Structure 1
Amino acid sequence: MVPYVFDPNNDLAQINDVSMRSTIKKKSGNQKKENKKTKTPSNQPIWGYGDTSSPLTADQCSFVVVLTSCMILCCVFYNVSPQYESFASPIPRDYTARLRNSQRPTIDVSKCSPRQTIVFLKTHKTGSTTLARLIELYGYKHSLTFVRKIGEGRSIHFGNRNLNYKSRKMFLPPPNVTKGDYSNYKYNIFTLHVRYNRAVLNTFMKKDPVHITIIREPSAQLESAFMFFHFGKYVNSTAEGIPPFEAFVSNPTKYRKAASSIMGYNDQMFDLGLSKKSFLNETIINKTIARLDQDMDLVLINEFYDESLVLLSKLLC
């Protein structure tokens, strides 16, 4: 398309707006009276283009130039580029139609069966509660059963307990199962805070469970736990003039009460089954990590939450 070029000599003669001509006529009359008083030299260029024969004054020319500029803009946006609906909306008119008619990726349901049994081992201050709610929504969607403790009240956490084969006595019975009929206490979804014990967990879960957990960068997890569990009350750093957490990490042995808490001392590995007495035993630590690597179908990472959720969705179908 050939771009429009403004020609003041030709285009201004084509102005057909009646009110504009009237306005110009009135201004011309007034200008003539003023010219008689001021006696503007006849050879003075008025247009600014060296055209001394123009009947319009400088003010009139400026007004017309502005008007013509507006007309040009209208031509550009409405005639030259009709695909734009407005100045504020550069979206093509047919965008919605193209999107509606576009081919979207589909999942072959025949090749994908949603997993029915999920064991999610929560870890402290890693974003695990958020993930637990997402997994529970998945369970609600598929009408699955959940492990819930008796007398849950306002707390949805089970506590950092060591599970054993009698732990199911603290659970609410599944739907249509008589209370106390523990052999039939079988569930689809587990999303509570407990220490990892695969053998015990599998006794009250339905067949073919998926085992998952989530971890977080240790220093970030420690700082979050320090704040959440109010470890700062054990650290008197006012005299030192530094924040409690900074004082604690600079000299943990000075604040033994805070340092001795499981929540502030390798808490993630403790949740995953490592005993406190083995915290400094590198051999046992490596064996525990190797065992978890075999046991877990997926380990999500807090710092890569979105990517982890994509992997989880693929695992659960």
Structure 2
Amino acid sequence: MFLKTHKTASSTVLNILLRYGEKNGLKFALPNGRNDFSYPATFMRMFVKNYRPGACFNIICNHMRFNAPEVEALLPSDTFFFTILRDPALVFESSFHYYKSVIPLTWRIHGKDKLTDFLNDPQIHFDSNGFNSFYLKNLHFFDLGFDNTLEPEDPLVDSAIRAIAERFQLVMIAEHFEESLILLKDALCWQMDDLLFFVMNTRRPTSVSQLTPELRTKAREWNGVDWKLYRYFNATLWAKVNAYGRKRMEKEVKKLRQRNSKMAAICISGGMAVEYQDIRDLSMRPWQPVGESSILGYNMRSNIEQQYRVLCRKMLTPEIQYLTDLGVNLWMTRLWGWFKTILRL
């Protein structure tokens, strides 16, 4: 079970899992009508497509607000649970940019640099009861099913971290993505080729706000619970790396990078991600934030050898399209997409 957190390279992990599940004939618990499990509602097993009492699945990996008992009811008792975290300052920057058009709290900020204005005095701008306000404070703690308005010193935060550590056998760290994947491979007895990936849902560099050291500190302080969570699990990750062996890890990461570089040369036209409007195959264009086209995608080479064509296509397929290929009727997501297109006109 992969808890897909927001703004953490989780879409890249999702692509890995979808390919692995397909390749090995595993049974997915998929959402119904949209690409998440009715987020931000707390997960319920009835959110699963075609759920029937007693149903058992192998993989759950779409966005949800975690609810351990409901998730556990769908999976074998020996299921491996993992998730991924990222520096909350960077999560905040990315979330603020991506969701600001659907967070009314940000509409009242009139300066040119809304993110800086918010961080300079967040108490003025934030209201925990505001629509979609969870995107602006301790988003990962919220994703994990806890109260995102708690302060870091609250004993409930420490008990929540203990509960997370007990439930999740691995918490990946986005800043150490490849090391995290190697630990995942080791835990699940995967092969190196199971880890192959292209980074999905990257943003155009000019759309990324470069946080000054002062703003980074303010973002971490504002998201203090997520910062505490991140530091705890960053330490646990490196404890696992040390147990695995630093030299051994370096060799494995090098192998993974070499394999990914080889696949990029085989699959990607031009070898890198391109702007949304430059993606030639319209069916391969990724989902975009409201009113923008800042998420990059890929062009697939046209002269790929037969043995690589299917793999290349799947590695380059964005989440929405991949879920459609798996049989999910994303009518709600597509309706929202149509509405977003109207807003861009």
Q: TM-score, normalised by structure 1?
A: 0.53
**SS at structure 1 position matched to 2:82:** strand
Instruction: Specify the SS of the correspondent of 1:136.
Output: helix
- Evaluate the alpha carbon distance shift between residue 272 and residue 247 of structure 1 in structure 2; reply closer, same or farther with a 3 A threshold: same
Preserved CA contact (<8 Å) 2:84 2:173 = yes
Native 8 Å contact 2:4 2:83 kept in 1: yes
Aligned to 1:130: 12
Secondary structure, aligned partner of 2:81? strand
Contact 2:40 2:64 in 1 (8 A): yes
Give the match's secondary structure for 1:191: coil
Aligned CA RMSD, in angstroms, stands at 2.2
1:257 CA drift (Å): 5.2
2:48 pairs with 1:171: yes
Residue 209 of structure 1: aligned partner: 79
| Residues 60-116 of structure 1 deviation map (CA, whole Å, 9 limit, x = unaligned) | xxxxxxxxxxxxxxxxxxxxxxxxxxxxxxxxxxxxxxxxxxxxxxxxxxxxxxxxx
Q: Corresponding residue for 1:189?
A: 59
Write the distance in 2 (CA, Å) between the matches of 1:145 and 1:263. Answer: 31
Letter in 1 for 2:5: T
Q: Distance in 1 between matches of 2:36 and 2:3?
A: 14
Q: What percentage of aligned pairs have identical amino acids?
A: 27
Whole-Å separation in 2 of the counterparts to 1:147 and 1:245: 37
* Contact 2:37–2:64 (Cα < 8 Å) also in 1: no
Provide structure 2 residue ranges, at least 5 long, that are not aligned to the other structure: 190-345
Conservation of the 8 A alpha-carbon contact between 1:126 and 1:214: yes
Which residue is equivalent to 2:25? 143
User: Any idea what SS the aligned residue of 1:278 has?
Assistant: coil
Count residues with an aligned counterpart. 183
Cα distance in structure 2, aligned partners of 1:120 and 1:284: 24
Pick closer, same or farther for the CA change 1:202–1:309 going to 2, 3 Å.
same
C-alpha separation in 2, matches of 1:181 and 1:222: 38
CA distance in 2, matches of 1:221, 1:259: 21
Give the alignment of 1:1-317 within 5 angstroms.
119-152=1-34, 155=35, 158-163=38-43, 167-173=44-50, 181-183=52-54, 185-230=55-100, 232-238=106-112, 243-256=113-126, 261-276=133-148, 278-279=150-151, 282-317=154-189
Q: What displacement does 1:158 show? A: 4.2
Deviation track 1:150-189 (CA, whole Å, cap 9, x = no partner) reads 323xx356422212xxx3333223xxxxxx6422x11100
Cα separation, partners in 2 of 1:289 and 1:244, compared to 1, 3 Å: same
Q: Aligned partners of 2:69 and 2:78: how far apart in 1? A: 13
**Using a 3 Å threshold, how does the CA distance of structure 1 residues 245 and 304 change in structure 2: closer, same or farther?**
same
What is the deviation of 1:259? 9.7
Structure 1 position 297, deviation (Å):
0.7
Paired amino acid for 1:162: T
Bigger mean CA deviation after superposition, 268-277 or 202-211: 268-277
Q: Is the 8 A contact 2:57 2:75 kept in 1?
A: yes
Q: Do the aligned residues in 1 keep the contact of 2:128 with 2:134 (CA within 8 Å)? A: no
TM-score w.r.t. the length of structure 2 is: 0.49
Instruction: Give the structure with the higher percent helix.
Output: 2
The 1-side partners of 2:153 and 2:188 are apart by: 36
Paired with 2:128 and 2:42, the residues of 1 have a C-alpha distance of 22
**Structure 1 stretches (4+) deviating beyond 6 angstroms?**
none
Deviations 1:229-251 (A, max 9, x none): 0155332114xxxx211111111
For residues 260-304 of structure 1, what are the alpha-carbon distances to aligned partners after superposition, in whole Å with 9 as ceiling and x for unaligned?
A: 511111111111122245345521101111111121110000111
Counterpart residue type for residue 219 of structure 1: A
- 2:37–2:48 CA contact under 8 A, matched in 1: no
Query: Rg bigger for which structure?
Result: 1
User: Aligned partner of 1:146: which letter?
Assistant: F
Q: Which has the higher contact order (CA 8 A, sep 6+)?
A: 2
- What letter is aligned with 2:40? N
